Structure 1
């Protein structure tokens, strides 16, 4: 239409009796009650509005969607205005529809303002990004040993010998010392002038062969010590015969 002027393909510019400019300005004036929408030509408004939708819908579906509800109301108003007014009730209905149209225009303005505010906010994937999948790092351990050939051989030897180790347990034995044997002989020979066999001085409670040999050796050395000190006499008729002792005191 000749009356349709568009300064921008995304802005609806109207040319009506009593108003000429973008629809945003019309909404602003209507909101401030500086213009009465009921006095404007609703028919021209609807025609220009529908023509704008027809052009913009193929270019920007989002902008067209914002005006879609308004278009339905304007088309409905246009059909009502084309019909003859038979009574006052129809006139009141048209006035009610005009008020609803004004409400819808104000609602559209609010939606546009909110959408602008939303799009000004930082958007995911544009201004910031969500955390990706956790990073998994493979850990590779590398050991380095600083050893000489001697250290290796020593370590190997320790491992081999450790497995063959055996515990040696020494049983408790009663071994006779020469000092104890001297004391025993002095006590038993005291005041006795009779000859007695050296075997008679060996304790009778000895059970093991090792203890018996220890007692015999210590008492023989003790008898020689007493003879040396002049405290006892010793004799043996033959090499393989028994040894006899007697007190000299």
Structure 2
């Protein structure tokens, strides 16, 4: 702030009014302006250098404008005055931009006032205690090997169990007829396939035994329908007997002789 005869206010406003010829520079005392400038600089030891430089530039421009009024005019005065006015205008615009920038910076959030850092940030350092010493090529080779093993991994497919079919039973009956007491009645269980050690004693083995009984029964019914063998069952749910049909006496009564368990 400057206090002069004919003006009381900030120095930048005085410079702007002088540039626009809205203040009477004849009444402005350059001596008072310089004395007040020196008094402010001396009274405030902690004044910023940038601010003091701005004040000095404005005071110099005011002194230069006042000197233009005191000096006699010459032939190139008009040209010099126009150049000086243009230069002064650029300086004022630059000063205005600096003031706006300072206000913008002052309005932003300041660290420690509106914005605060984290009190105790966590450490992102990881310590490897595995003792492994590997490099990037080894890491890439290991990764590619793991991916290849994953691609080659086959899906588990359990082996399907093989049950005794009707075709298997037909082949076994035809092969055994004529060699296993052809004139005697034999139980159906005599033509079942022999159990193996792989069958075990679990549910699968029981299912396989039932499939063998069903397949042999269906095969014997098919051969009886064709006239190859004879079937007999004395009672309901009783034991099923079979023998090869006798060609010389097809109507002979079926009597069990020497039944085999």
Query: Do they superpose with TM above 0.5?
Result: no
The TM-score, its normalising length taken from structure 1, stands at 0.35
- Structure 1 or 2, whichever has the larger Rg, is 1
Q: Whose RCO is larger (CA < 8 A, sep 6+)?
A: 2
